[in-house]
């Protein structure tokens, strides 16, 4: 079965501090995409960062970076210099069929991040 | 950039009535669209994959006759909740891959539709 596990239902961080959200996944595929999505109170899904499984280099997007450990099937998200606007639900997700005909996303259960002033 | 418009954003209906939710790709064509359901404080669960010009593919446990999906054109997919009941109250989100625009498997999401069945 292809699954995504986020073991931290809720997390809290002080403004300007760094926080890491955990994610593990299970798949027998070798090529796939991994994503972190943010869902603020507006409920709009926003792509934070993505990682192609064939790339060894960890993806970064400004204050957001990932630690991708393919052998361990781990894909954690680090948020540096946390801002109040980072408060949201964060979902880890992956597409288990890179290059295939489908873009079927499998989501984790989410981590609710609260940035405290 | 690729934009997916979802309408209505919020709908309240009486039990037993049907509700239609539209998902439109505004600046790209989408041969495939995905419909998700999200209960409060929970994750997104894929309900079905909408295919332009053919039948939708439903996930296990999703009632086809309950959740009718029509993908009549390359820019429009609709989800109709038939004979809605209070347990159908949820947040429904559509998404579409902007193939040909980004060249990557990046889905664009609609803003979602909150359904409340009284």
pLDDT > 70: what percent of chain B?
Answer: 93
Count Cβ atoms below 10 Å from residue B101 Cβ, excluding itself.
14
* Side-chain-side CA neighbours of residue A95 (13 Å): 19
Looking at residues A106-116, what average pLDDT do you find?
Answer: 95
**Best residue of B105, B108, B113, B115 to probe chain A, by most A CBs closer than 10 Å:** B105
CA distance B64 to chain A (A): 19
pLDDT digits (tens, 9 = 90+) for A17-49: 999 999 999 988 888 889 999 999 999 999 999
Burial group, residue A48, by CB count within 10 angstroms (0-12, 13-18, 19+): buried
Strand partners, A20: A78
Neighbours of A86 (CB within 10 A): 20
Residues contacting A91, CB < 8 A, separation 6+: A6, A36, A37, A38, A39, A45, A107, A108, A110, A111, B43, B44
Quick: pLDDT tens for B7-45. 999 999 999 999 999 999 998 888 889 999 999 888 999
| B109 with A103: Cβ contact below 8 A | no
Query: Shortest CA distance to B41 belongs to which of A110, A115, A40?
Result: A110
Q: Which of B34, B91, B93 sits opposite A104 (nearest CB)?
A: B34
Of B1-5, B7-11, B69-73, the least confident: B1-5
Structure tokens at A88: 């949201």
| Residue the block writes with tokens 């998404």 | B95
Other Cβ atoms within 10 Å of A93 Cβ, number: 24
CA distance A63 to B95: 26
Residues of A within 8 A of B114 (CB-CB) are: 43
Q: How far apart are CA B38 and CA B92, in angstroms?
A: 6
For chain A, the average pLDDT equals 92
**Distance between A35 CA and the closest CA of chain B, angstroms:** 9
């Amino acid at each position: 079965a292809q699954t995504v596990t986020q073991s931290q239902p809720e997390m809290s961080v002080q403004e300007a501090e760094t926080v890491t959200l955990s994610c593990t996944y299970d798949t027998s595929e070798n090529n796939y995409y991994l994503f972190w999505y943010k869902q603020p109170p507006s409920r709009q899904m926003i792509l934070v960062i993505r990682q192609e499984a064939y790339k060894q280099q960890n993806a970064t997007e400004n204050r957001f970076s990932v630690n991708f450990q393919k052998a361990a099937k781990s894909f954690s998200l680090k948020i540096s210099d946390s801002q109040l606007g980072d408060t949201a639900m964060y979902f880890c997700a992956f597409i288990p069929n890179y290059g295939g005909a489908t873009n079927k996303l499998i989501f984790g259960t989410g981590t609710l991040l609260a940035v405290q002033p | 950039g690729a934009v997916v418009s979802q309408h209505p954003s919020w709908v309240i209906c009486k039990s037993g009535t049907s509700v239609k939710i539209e998902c439109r790709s505004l600046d790209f064509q989408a041969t495939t669209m995905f419909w998700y359901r999200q209960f409060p404080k929970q994750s997104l669960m894929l309900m079905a994959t909408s295919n332009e010009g053919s039948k939708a593919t439903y996930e296990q446990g999703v009632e086809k006759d309950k959740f009718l999906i029509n993908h009549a054109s390359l820019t429009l997919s609709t989800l109709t909740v038939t004979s809605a009941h209070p347990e159908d109250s949820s947040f429904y989100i559509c998404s579409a891959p902007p193939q040909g625009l980004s060249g990557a498997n990046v889905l664009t999401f609609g803003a979602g539709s909150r359904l409340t069945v009284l």
